[in-house]
């Protein structure tokens, strides 16, 4: 009997359900050629983000962590020609590669790349009086995830969706004694989600070509009346 692993199944599902329709395949090649770290979401995960954005009718998306723009392209295609994605990237070289990928994918005009530390860029967005975002996707340095979620709450509206990637950490999130900063950050984030009445949240574990991980799916609740 043939034995298949998670990556085999992921490959099969990607071929069947993403396949040649994947508008972002060239972006992954460009990222590799530019020696960017291979930490993009998988094709199935990228399409999942795209479908979430479409299903909630998102027209304004905030992404924290651009890398080479792979997930950004999926989100930009979801918001449509009249929509907008604001994406925050710390590394100027990554942002440069992302801009090329976005332009080649035909969605460059929909995307505003802000270069610099996200915790510096987020107050600027607020000061600009930006319209609330319908969807926030957080996939940046893990130790600041709780800070990013708190900022996401300031920049969204009731019923907006907040997604935080890579919170299960190969199962280590269940280990209270872990000394890994990313693990402890995931635990702190889950404590925040469980105690904040502004958010209704869950975490879904995932397996596949990216290994064993998972993501937060949270919906912003209406503010209680004073």
**What CATH number corresponds to the domain at position 196?**
3.40.50.150
| Residue-level length of the chain | 226
Q: Which residues span the domain enclosing 95?
A: 6-220
Instruction: Decide if 212 is inside a domain.
Output: yes
Burial of 154 (0-12, 13-18, 19+ CB in 10 A): exposed
Share of the chain above pLDDT 90, in %: 80
Least confident of 20-24, 81-85, 170-174: 20-24
Is residue 114 predicted with pLDDT exceeding 60?
yes
Distance between CA 75 and CA 114 in Å, rounded? Answer: 16
- Predicted pLDDT of residue 19: 74
Using CA atoms, how far apart are residues 24 and 218, in angstroms rounded to an integer?
26
pLDDT of residue 157: 97
Instruction: Evaluate whether residue 1 is within a structural domain.
Output: no
| pLDDT score for 226 | 44
DSSP letter string over 61-89?
A: EEEE--TTSHHHHHHHHHH-TT-EEEEEE
What span, in angstroms and rounded, lies between the C-alpha atoms of 48 and 226?
37
Residue 181's SS3 state is helix
Q: Is residue 162 part of a domain?
A: yes
Tens-digit pLDDT profile for residues 167-221: 999 999 999 999 999 999 999 999 999 999 999 999 999 998 888 999 999 999 9
The answer to whether position 31 is within a domain reads yes
Residue 225 lies in a domain: no
Give which of 166, 164, 160, 169 is closest to 137, Cα–Cα: 164
Dist CA 221 CA 129 (whole Å): 21
* The pLDDT value given to residue 166: 95
Query: For the purposes of burial, counting CB atoms within 10 Å of the CB of 61, is it exposed (0-12), middle (13-18) or buried (19 or more)?
Result: buried
- Find, among 32, 38, 43, the residue nearest to 73 by Cα: 43
Residue 171 covered by a domain: yes
- Mean pLDDT throughout 154-158? 97
- Which tokens belong to 64? 């924290």
What is the number of structural domains in the chain? Answer: 1
Q: Is residue 226 part of a domain?
A: no
Give a yes or no: residue 70 inside a domain.
Answer: yes
Q: Does residue 25 or residue 56 have the better pLDDT?
A: 56
Dihedral of alpha carbons 29, 47, 136, 184, sign:
negative
Residues whose CB falls within 8 Å of the CB of residue 96, separated by 6 or more in sequence, listed in order: none
């Amino acid at each position: 009997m043939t034995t298949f692993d998670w990556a085999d199944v992921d490959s099969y599902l990607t071929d069947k359900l993403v396949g040649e329709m994947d508008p972002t395949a060239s972006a992954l090649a460009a990222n590799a050629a530019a020696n960017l770290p291979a930490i993009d979401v998988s094709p199935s995960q990228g399409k999942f983000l795209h479908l979430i954005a479409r299903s909630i009718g998102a027209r304004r998306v905030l992404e924290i962590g651009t890398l080479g723009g792979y997930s950004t392209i999926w989100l930009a295609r979801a918001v449509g020609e009249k929509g907008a994605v604001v994406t925050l990237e710390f590394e100027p070289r990554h942002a440069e590669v992302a801009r090329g990928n976005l332009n080649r994918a035909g969605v460059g005009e929909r995307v505003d790349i802000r270069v610099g530390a996200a915790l510096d860029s987020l107050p600027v967005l607020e000061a600009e009086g930006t319209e609330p975002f319908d969807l926030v996707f957080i996939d940046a340095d893990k130790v600041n995830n709780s800070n990013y979620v708190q900022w996401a709450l300031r920049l969204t509206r009731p019923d907006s969706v907040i997604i935080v990637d890579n919170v299960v950490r190969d199962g280590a999130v269940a280990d209270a004694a872990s000394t890994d900063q990313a693990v402890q950050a995931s635990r702190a984030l889950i404590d925040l989600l469980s105690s904040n009445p502004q958010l209704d949240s869950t975490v879904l574990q995932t397996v596949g070509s990216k290994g064993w991980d998972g993501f937060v799916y949270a919906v912003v609740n209406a503010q209680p009346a004073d």
